[in-house]
Homo-oligomer: A and B are copies of this chain.
Amino acid sequence: MRNSRKLGLAVAQMGPVNLADDRPKVVARLVDMLREAKGRNADLVVFPEMALTTFFPRYWMSEEEAVERFFEHSMPNAAVQPLFDAARELGIGFYLGYAELTPEGHRFNTAVLVDKEAKVIGKYRKIHLPGHADHKPDAPFQHLEKKFFEVGDRGFPVFESFGTKVGMCLCNDRRWPETWRVMSLQSAELGVLGYNTPSWNIHWNEPPHLRMHTHLISLQASAYQNAMWIGAAAKCGFEDGFHMIGGSVIVAPSGEIAAQSSSEEDEVIFFNIDLAIGDTFREHVFNFAKHRRPEHYGLIVERTGAGAPLPHD
């Protein structure tokens, strides 16, 4: 038997944040869930993407208006300070997604990793921005991440913290296998993310059940194929009438779901994850050094879009 290496992981799903909900009200909800997670002996709590506001890319507006209403100019800031204070008091870390305006005026879809002393020790800026930049007046709502955000400039970073190595990503990144592979090649044992996933696809008539299905199979396969634990936190339910999926999960390196939310409201799920389970997979089926063949993976970086089949002999 391998010695276990346990970490108390909580995922704090959020119900809707409506346009009328101000930052203090939202932060109070986050603090409540931080305390609940601490009560279950969590070391780390994963909050959603854009946890402090509604999922505003669904609304057409100018960049200036979006910045004014929905972006954070620093992290922490006065509105979010109670969350950092509670974390320090409780001795618990967290991951938090928010819209970031940099001092230089750049806009990113960002998440921070905060340690048990409430210090920001990691930051990620979303790379796989879904949606579009143009106005689609005939769509029931917009998905303007490509308008409001620049592509992230920090890669898929992995931070040595919480006694392990933690990789960060956001929402749509989870559907791209490159995200997880770049993390696992940096020896990440745990990947954390938040997401806002509309239940309806504005581009085609996708059955809503598929949104949950593809969310889950992407996380399950990626956890397995990279021998990682994954914690994924939804913001979900009806935000001012626009529905988003729940399905917050903690997934094991076996690809099995260890815990899954059962509501579309604020809800803390918890699992005492054993990081050593990943070691077994890393040693055998996914012993990268022994089995990977990068000489055959070149197209992954040589092409962006799909092209013609390579010539054969």
Contacts of A272 in B (CB 8 A): none
A interface vs B, CB < 8 Å?
122, 127-130, 151-152, 154-160, 165, 172, 175-178, 180-182, 184-188, 201, 203-204, 210, 213-214, 217-218, 220-222, 224-225, 254-256, 280, 282-294, 296-310, 312-313
Q: Report the minimum CB–CB distance from A34 to chain B (whole Å).
A: 25
Complex Cα distance, B295 from A300, in Å, reads: 10
Pairs across A and B, CB under 8 Å, 19 listed: A127-B293, A128-B293, A156-B296, A175-B285, A176-B225, A176-B291, A178-B297, A181-B297, A186-B310, A204-B280, A210-B255, A214-B254, A217-B217, A217-B220, A218-B224, A218-B225, A288-B304, A289-B306, A294-B304
Complex Cα distance, B127 from A67, in Å, reads: 49
Complex Cα distance, B310 from A187, in Å, reads: 10
Contacts of A185 in B (CB 8 A): 299-300, 303, 306-307
Q: Which residue of B lies closest to A291 (CB)?
A: B128
Contact of A294 among B204, B284, B288, B300 (CB under 8 A): B300
Contact of A309 among B152, B159, B213 (CB under 8 A): B159
Complex Cα distance, B286 from A201, in Å, reads: 13
Given A185-B300, A217-B217, A304-B292, A310 contacting B254 (CB threshold 8 A): no
Complex Cα distance, B157 from A283, in Å, reads: 29
Contacts of A304 in B (CB 8 A): 288-289, 292-294
Q: Report the minimum CB–CB distance from A124 to chain B (whole Å).
A: 10
Complex Cα distance, B172 from A187, in Å, reads: 22
Q: Which residue of B lies closest to A306 (CB)?
A: B187
Q: Report the minimum CB–CB distance from A91 to chain B (whole Å).
A: 24
Complex Cα distance, B305 from A185, in Å, reads: 7
Q: Which residue of B lies closest to A146 (CB)?
A: B290
Contact of A306 among B154, B282, B312 (CB under 8 A): B282
A293 and B159 form a contact (CB under 8 A): no
A217 and B210 form a contact (CB under 8 A): no
Complex Cα distance, B185 from A185, in Å, reads: 21
A297 and B214 form a contact (CB under 8 A): no
Q: Report the minimum CB–CB distance from A159 to chain B (whole Å).
A: 7
Contacts of A214 in B (CB 8 A): 224, 254-255
Contact of A284 among B156, B201, B221 (CB under 8 A): B201
Complex Cα distance, B296 from A182, in Å, reads: 8
The 6 closest A-B pairs by CB, nearest first: A289-B305, A221-B221, A177-B177, A158-B309, A203-B284, A186-B309
